[in-house]
């Protein structure tokens, strides 16, 4: 597995991260097989969140992996906090600290490699976040910090107060959900692609050496389903299938390779709980699409160029 540097830190991780949002759909034995297979592939970076399965995902993961100090050293664990179902968002110091303690207990570990703030909190007081991060770092409970679904100004506001570098921004990005890229291409154009400016978040992250993790890399919309084999995307699937055949890999591999071809050094977060599909995802690390293939797929997905 190809290794990348994660943000402005000493952390290095596999270029493909394993998302665990759906691990609660597996039995314990199925989860054991899935995690072992991932580790055998070199995919040792696992993404969690306190709300996934209402905490069950973290608990099941720890049970399935047979968490011990020795096992823990073979893993990289990331979790997220800040979403309070039925209430909204909460970046208060008390909630961040409480959430991390609960995740550590469920994961049966003394520390997280990375903690992300999950979606922006309109009532965020960055001074409180800074205090929480300071406590977590000094106690050794969190080694690195990042955000999820936040734009350039959100990060700048946080970084004004937070001493620790923001090493990751986890954002939705795929061939069929490419707004982050499209908005950067539609400079000075009066069309729909510029109607929802994101503050050049992708370029901002590149400037600040913040690793962009892409969630739902095979999805379109927000949890609407995969675009692969979907009749809503006939032209895109035709192109993906042809290129996949030329490389002798699966369409899944090509869809992930499209993300990895971008010079931002993206780190896709998989969502599959199927070992064979995870293998296809990991294989993308060995494929480098040409510039022509990259743009061909971008256009086939319905994106436009000025």
Taking only the tens place, the pLDDT of each residue in 106-164 is 999 999 999 999 999 999 999 999 999 999 999 999 999 999 999 999 999 999 999 99
CA angle 130, 121, 13 (to 5 degrees): 65
| 3-5 and 12-14 beta bridge pairing | antiparallel
**pLDDT for residue 6:** 96
Arithmetic mean of pLDDT, 268-282: 98
Is the predicted pLDDT of residue 255 greater than 70, yes or no? Answer: yes
Q: Kindly report which listed range (69-83, 174-188, 250-264) carries the lowest average pLDDT score.
A: 174-188
Confidence check: pLDDT of 198 > 80:
no
pLDDT classification of 306: cutoffs 50, 70, 90: confident
Q: What is the model's pLDDT at position 196?
A: 55
CB distance 141 to 110 below 8 Å: yes
Structure tokens at 263: 């010079």
Looking at the predicted structure, is the pLDDT value of residue 280 above 80? yes
Strand partners of residue 118: 148
> Residue ranges per domain, the chain?
3-300
Quick check: 296 pLDDT over 70? yes
Residue holding tokens 């609660």?
24
Instruction: State mean pLDDT over 48-66.
Output: 98
Q: What's the pLDDT tens digit per position in 202-225?
A: 999 999 999 999 999 999 987 789
Sign of the CA dihedral with 6 first, then 17, 80, and 138 last: negative
- Whether domain 3-300 has CATH 3.90.650.10: the reply is no
Over 80: is that where the pLDDT of 176 sits? yes
Q: Quickly count: other Cβ atoms within 10 Å of residue 125's Cβ.
A: 13
pLDDT over 70 (residue 197):
no
Catalytic residue ranges: 52
Average pLDDT, the chain: 95
Q: Is 82 left (phi over 0), alpha (psi -120 to 50) or beta?
A: left
According to the model, what pLDDT value does residue 44 have? 98
pLDDT tens by residue, 22-41 = 999 999 999 999 999 999 99
Q: Confirm whether pTM is higher than 0.75.
A: yes
Beta bridge partners, 154, equal: none
């Amino acid at each position: 597995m190809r290794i990348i540097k994660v943000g402005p830190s000493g952390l290095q991780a596999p270029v493909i991260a394993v998302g665990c949002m759906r691990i609660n759909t597996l039995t314990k034995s199925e989860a054991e097989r899935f995690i072992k297979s991932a580790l055998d592939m070199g995919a040792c970076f696992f993404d969690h969140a306190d709300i996934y399965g209402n905490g069950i995902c973290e608990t099941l993961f720890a049970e399935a992996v047979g968490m011990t100090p020795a096992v823990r050293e073979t893993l990289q664990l990331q979790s997220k906090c800040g979403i309070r179902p039925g209430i909204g968002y909460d970046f208060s110091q008390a909630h961040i600290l409480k959430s991390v303690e609960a995740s550590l207990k469920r994961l049966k570990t003394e520390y997280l490699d990375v903690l992300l703030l999950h979606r922006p909190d309109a009532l965020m007081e960055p001074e409180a976040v800074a205090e929480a991060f300071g406590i977590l770092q000094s106690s050794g409970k969190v080694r690195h910090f990042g955000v999820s679904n936040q734009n350039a100004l959100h990060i700048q506001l946080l970084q004004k107060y937070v001493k620790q570098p923001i090493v990751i921004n986890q954002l939705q990005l795929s061939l069929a959900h490419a707004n982050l890229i499209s908005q950067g291409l539609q400079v000075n154009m009066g069309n729909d692609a510029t109607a929802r400016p994101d503050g050049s978040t992708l370029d901002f992250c590149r400037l600040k050496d913040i690793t962009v993790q892409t969630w739902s890399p095979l999805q379109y919309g927000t949890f609407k389903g995969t675009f692969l084999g979907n009749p809503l995307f006939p032209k895109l699937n035709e192109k993906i299938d042809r290129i996949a055949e030329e490389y002798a890999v699966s369409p899944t591999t090509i869809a992930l390779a499209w993300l990895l071809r971008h010079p931002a050094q993206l780190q896709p977060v998989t969502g599959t709980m199927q070992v064979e599909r995870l293998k296809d995802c990991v294989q993308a690390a060995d494929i480098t699409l040409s510039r022509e293939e990259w743009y061909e797929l971008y256009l086939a997905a319905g994106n436009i160029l000025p």
